[in-house]
């Protein structure tokens, strides 16, 4: 905690002396935080002609900034906030990118999450990029969108590329490219690792999630969405077959077999990329998961709005915001 000290001093009055003893006044509190943005949704896949049978890209995970354990994109840990007593700080939790149900449409990017208020530099995590679509008409729509973590590329007769992680400081990784030979989309980037390109037997795997322990329990956040697949299986969200769905990420669709899955709420996971089958819902790019903001300090808040979940761990008082609100110490 930040403190202000008043030094001992003496005042002499005639032959007498009065002494003012040390006092310590607490003016602020140091708070750790985790700020995760909303994940992007997967792109729309399609198998009619044109453009043919191909898989779409998975959505990128929401950007992740943390003062403990790890931060997104392999960057340095963030600096804890110094929050002044009596000041109200605004918490914004970003929604995930919405589901895509229209042909030739790239996934929607997630929304930013933040902590802001007087006397601090606003902490903003950037929403994940949407996955690239199956489109012969536009290379821009085949390309995964930029974001905290970027979306994977969508496939067509020309494979699409992944987007680029654009947040500063870094908050996640890039997605993977589409693969033409087997017509599989790329996985979206995750906070803990890059998405992979579409493979010979699967859509690209979503990038790894980041494991953060700010509540007393290590929890995975912000995995990349899996790419849609024409061959083999849809890409796993958040990693390989042994780490499927980590960080709340959705899996990609598989031709004629399974629809993509959405990112999980309050994880920042990317949504799975679609693969069309006779224009059914298997083509839909699924929604990204909403973000989350968590604050912990060694004193309790005096008031909050938005009804955050309150827990304790050791000496820490922990506030988990799953929607917009505010906090005052």
Supply the DSSP string of 36-98, one letter for each residue: EPPPPPPPPPB-STTT-SBBPPPPPPPPEEESSS--GGG-PPPPPEEEETT-EEEEE-PPPPP
Q: For residue 152, what pLDDT band results from cuts at 50, 70 and 90? A: very high
Alpha carbon of residue 46 to chain centroid = 27
- Express each pLDDT in 27-69 by its tens digit: 999 999 999 999 999 999 875 555 567 899 999 999 999 999 9
pLDDT value of residue 113? 98
- Of 165, 138, 135, the closest CA to residue 149 belongs to 165
pLDDT value of residue 4? 38
More confident residue, 279 or 135: 135
pLDDT value of residue 203? 94
- Of 139, 286, 164, the closest CA to residue 227 belongs to 286
Given a contact cutoff of 8 angstroms between Cβ atoms, the answer to whether 297 and 30 are in contact is: yes
- Express each pLDDT in 201-258 by its tens digit: 899 999 999 999 999 999 999 999 999 998 888 999 987 555 555 688 889 888 777 7
- Of 324, 327, 328, 329, the closest CA to residue 306 belongs to 324
pLDDT higher than threshold 70 for residue 149: yes
pLDDT higher than threshold 90 for residue 119: yes
| Whether the model pTM is above 0.85 | yes
């Amino acid at each position: 905690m930040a403190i202000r000290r008043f030094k001992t001093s003496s005042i002499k009055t005639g032959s007498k002396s009065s002494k003012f003893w040390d006092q310590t006044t607490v003016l602020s509190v140091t708070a750790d935080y985790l700020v995760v943005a909303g994940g992007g949704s997967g792109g729309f896949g399609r198998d009619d002609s044109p453009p043919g049978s191909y898989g779409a890209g998975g959505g990128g995970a929401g950007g992740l900034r943390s003062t403990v354990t790890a931060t997104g994109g392999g960057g340095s840990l963030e600096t804890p906030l110094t929050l002044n007593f009596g000041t109200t700080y605004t918490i914004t939790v970003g929604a995930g990118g919405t589901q895509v149900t229209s042909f030739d449409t790239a996934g929607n990017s997630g929304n930013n999450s933040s902590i802001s208020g007087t006397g601090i530099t606003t902490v903003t995590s950037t929403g994940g990029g949407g996955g690239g679509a199956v489109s012969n008409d536009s290379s821009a729509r085949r390309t995964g969108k930029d974001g905290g973590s970027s979306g994977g590329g969508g496939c067509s007769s020309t494979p699409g590329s992944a987007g680029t992680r654009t947040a500063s400081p870094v908050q996640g990784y890039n997605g993977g490219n589409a693969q033409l030979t087997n017509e599989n989309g790329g996985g979206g980037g995750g906070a803990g690792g890059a998405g992979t390109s579409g493979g010979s037997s699967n859509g690209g795997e979503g990038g790894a999630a980041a494991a953060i322990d700010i509540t007393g329990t290590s929890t995975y956040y912000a995995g990349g969405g899996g790419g849609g697949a024409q061959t083999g299986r849809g890409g796993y969200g958040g990693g390989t077959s042994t780490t499927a769905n980590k960080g709340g990420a959705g899996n990609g669709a598989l031709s004629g077999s399974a629809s993509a899955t959405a990112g999980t709420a309050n994880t920042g996971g990317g949504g799975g990329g679609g693969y069309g089958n006779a224009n059914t819902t298997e083509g839909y790019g699924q929604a990204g998961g909403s973000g989350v903001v968590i604050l912990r300090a060694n004193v309790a808040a005096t008031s909050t709005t938005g009804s955050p979940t309150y827990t304790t761990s050791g000496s820490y008082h922990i506030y988990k915001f799953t929607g917009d609100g505010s906090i005052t110490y």
